[in-house]
Amino acid sequence: MSERPFLMGSETEFGIASPDPREQNHITNSMRLVGFCPGLPAPEALWDYQGENPLVDLYGRRMDGEREDPDPHANRALNKPQTNGGRLYVDGAHPEYSTPEVTDPLDLVRFEAAGELIADNCRRTGERVLGGRGFSLFKNNSDGKGNSYGYHENYLVPRRVPVDTLLMATVPFLITRQVFCGAGKVGAENGRPAVPFQLSQRADFFETLAELNTMVRRPVFNTRDEPHADPDQYLRLHVIPGDANMSQVSTFLKVGTMALVLRLVEDGALGPVPQPESPVEAFWIFSRDLSLKATVPVRGGRGLSALDIQRVYLERVQAYARAHPLPGSFPEVVRRWEVVLDALEADPLSVDRQVDWAIKHHMIDSYLGRKGMGWDSPRAKAMDIQYHDIDPARGLFHTLRAKGWVDELVAPEAIAQAVTQPPEDTRAWFRGQCLARFGKGVYGVSWSSVLLDVGDGIRRIATPNPFRGTRAITGPLFDRCATPRELVAMLERG
């Protein structure tokens, strides 16, 4: 078994809306919202784009075009690095939050939920500044008008793993895991045939198997090669077909199971897995099958359902776990994975405390039944979107949570702490501590660097190893350094 810790993170693009009909420019609204981010000790720290290139793919091919980095003024307006090691920024027409790098799926749940608090704090600050209700923010993937926006996962993988091996191993998993991490969707979009309700918010928008682009001809397997780490050692698998989840259980299973599948691939322990003959079409079919019994043709075998394919992956992971004890919360991932698949097989709607699509379906179906309405009613679509409102006073998921009708994994106090405190076991600790301790002495940061103002210039501290810069390694340095100059001098002395 690989002794390397797991490493993962997520990126959430929030839907944004303004009640003012004169303020419907999403880019302007996103900029204003991010600008309201309160309590930052280094509000002028910029994002260091050196080393980032989204135009190169894992096969070494380059997309046409040139990378355009913002000037320093625009950079500071677009980016608000967080003391928890994460990043709040504007990406296109959306406010986006990236978690810090974490080694455990329960920490990912915690820091992703902290991102919702950070975004909501920006919204609340905006309300006070604007003298009323400023914006609504939605942790979802579609505005119901044909526009989709992303939720992306990131996993560290050794560079030695062949790209085609990753593709063949992960695509069947990605198109079937929606049974437990689909966020649920009323209706259809992107020209797909009408349907009352489906498992996934994103499935309708995926059109090809593998591609570098993330916005046109969206691929199930994204080939972007931007490791944010030593490129000779690692690649970053950028996973884009997943839904943004409100349920902590769905998020936990989504990232935990994916990380385990990748570990088996890395160790050569996964073995052959069923390959649907038309993966993109299978993605659509499975999303529209609330019975979870629909099957798709599989190469060299009989037709299989999404649950059938998930069982293959679960059994391989269980066998691996029996021989290789798993760290942290990963044993709980495996246990819950089996429990949820068993429940889905017995009665798909029985997971309406754990799985977003089932929670949402139960909520809307109950309301429509009481009101004598159908799934094609405008109210159904409105409830779909309102389920994802991150304002606890307006979001329907938050209403269910407050009533104790959904399962939770992380205490509110732990989430609140993650708003400002970075994880201790990755380089995010060093990044976050620099921001918290040195404030305006931090000129800029990125995932793999910290730029410190030492008085007579800017010094870049490279952090290509995600597993250094931890509290255990760098905590004593911070205890002995009061200024960026002292820290740089100590680092240079080794």
Q: Tell which residue, 324, 314, 330, 338, has the closest CA to residue 267.
A: 324
Cα-based angle 236, 241, 242 (whole degrees, multiple of 5) = 95
pLDDT of residue 1: 63
Whole-number Å distance between alpha carbons of 240 and 201: 12
pLDDT of residue 56: 87
| 91 a catalytic residue | yes
Q: How far is CA 421 from CA 7, 118, 437, in A?
A: 18, 12, 12
pLDDT of residue 207: 95
Whole-number Å distance between alpha carbons of 145 and 321: 44
Q: Tell which residue, 455, 459, 466, has the closest CA to residue 431.
A: 466
Is 8-40+82-417 a CATH 3.30.590 domain?
Answer: yes
Query: pTM for the whole thing?
Result: 0.97
pLDDT in tens, the chain (494 residues): 678 899 999 999 999 998 776 677 889 999 999 999 999 999 999 999 998 888 888 998 887 766 778 999 999 999 999 999 999 999 988 999 999 999 999 999 999 999 999 999 999 999 999 887 778 999 999 988 888 999 999 999 999 999 999 999 999 999 999 999 999 999 999 999 999 999 999 999 999 999 988 877 899 999 999 999 999 999 999 999 999 999 999 999 999 999 999 999 999 999 999 999 999 999 999 999 999 999 999 998 889 999 999 999 999 999 999 999 999 999 999 999 999 999 999 999 999 999 999 999 999 999 999 999 999 999 999 999 999 999 999 999 999 999 999 999 999 999 999 999 999 999 999 999 999 999 999 999 999 999 999 999 999 999 999 999 999 999 999 999 999 999 999 998 87
Q: Which is the catalytic residue, given 57, 91, 120, 376?
A: 91
CATH 3.30.590 residue ranges in the chain? 8-40+82-417
pLDDT of residue 92: 85
pLDDT of residue 146: 86
The burial of 477, by beta-carbon neighbours within 10 Å (0-12 exposed, 13-18 middle, 19 or more buried), is given as middle
